Amino acid sequence: MHAKLDGKFWVRHLAVPFFLFFAAAIFCEVTDVDLVLADRFFDFSAGVWPARHSFWAEWLIHQRGKELIILITAGSFAGWLASWRWQCLRRDRWSLLFLALVIVLSTTSVALMKKGIGRHCPWDVTRYGGSVPYTRLTEPPPQACAPGNCFPAGHASGGFALFAGYFAWRDRRRRLALSSLAAGGVLGSIYAYGQMARGAHFLSHNFYSAIICWLIPLFLYLPYRYLLRAPRAEAPLPAAPPVVAKYSRGSEEG
């Protein structure tokens, strides 16, 4: 049975997440936390980002991390296709499709926003050896510079996109839903940390990606919700009563 979309639902799933995002975004904007954290990852004496081409940040978290999200998306879509053939997957048919669709939609939305907004990476900023003056997100970008491609955080959105699994299974498989929620938060944070260490993003960039990857499955969940029930065909059919043959006395003698 579906959980009710009552006032508690909207407080927990919209008001609280948006308040946390708004508080984090304001904190980043009125303080220098973006620069303070970036300074810790940048080697001012050598003028380089030590982790930019490191094994753990570039090869493991960035490259393999991207492949992991592609694998999860492809696996979810393949599971949806396979559910039309194998009975064991039928209960998760529409949840798997929901997960795949939301991952694609979330990451694509962030990628398009990056191109449209045109903000720069830390490694583009003059403070860190680049050629672009630092500006806060609420300030207009420098007009004399070519647009950047670093806001919101694209790589972290791949991890945060796994929030979709929470909405995909929250009505029927609570434990799996909460596991998906935790996986999205943990993986998105790891991806965010790796990219911050490389100089690809400021901290604030990741908060915007997180809220985008939360709101997209939330609002897609509303019209899609009725499909997330287990198919009726999976419900066990009542056992048929035993058939008792009745014979007349005459038929027995014949």
Q: Cα(254)–Cα(132) distance, rounded to whole angstroms?
A: 104
Q: Cα(137)–Cα(119) distance, rounded to whole angstroms?
A: 8
- The pLDDT tens digits for 67-97 are 999 999 999 999 999 999 998 888 899 999 9
Q: What is the mean pLDDT of residues 21-40?
A: 97
Contact residues for 141 (Cβ-Cβ < 8 A; gap 6+): 118, 119, 120, 135, 147, 148
Return the residue matching tokens 């939360």.
214
List the chain domain ranges: 7-137+146-230
3-class secondary structure, 83: coil
Which of 130, 121, 155 lies closest to 48, judged by CA? 130
Residue 250's pLDDT band (cuts 50, 70, 90): very low
Residue 251's pLDDT band (cuts 50, 70, 90): very low
Structure-block tokens of residue 159: 């991890």
Percent of the chain with pLDDT over 90: 78
Contact at 8 Å (CB) between 207 and 22? no
Residue 230's pLDDT band (cuts 50, 70, 90): low
Which pLDDT does position 242 carry in this prediction? 54
Is this prediction's pTM over 0.85?
Answer: yes
Residue 228's pLDDT band (cuts 50, 70, 90): confident
In the predicted structure, residue 239 carries a pLDDT above the cut 60? no
- Greater confidence (91 vs 196) lies with 196
Would you give the end-to-end CA distance of the chain in angstroms? 57
Helices (H), the chain: 7-10, 16-30, 33-41, 65-82, 93-117, 154-160, 164-169, 174-198, 203-224, 249-253
- Greater confidence (250 vs 128) lies with 128
Query: Chain-centre distance of CA 133, in angstroms?
Result: 31
Q: Cα(53)–Cα(41) distance, rounded to whole angstroms?
A: 13
Q: Cα(94)–Cα(76) distance, rounded to whole angstroms?
A: 10
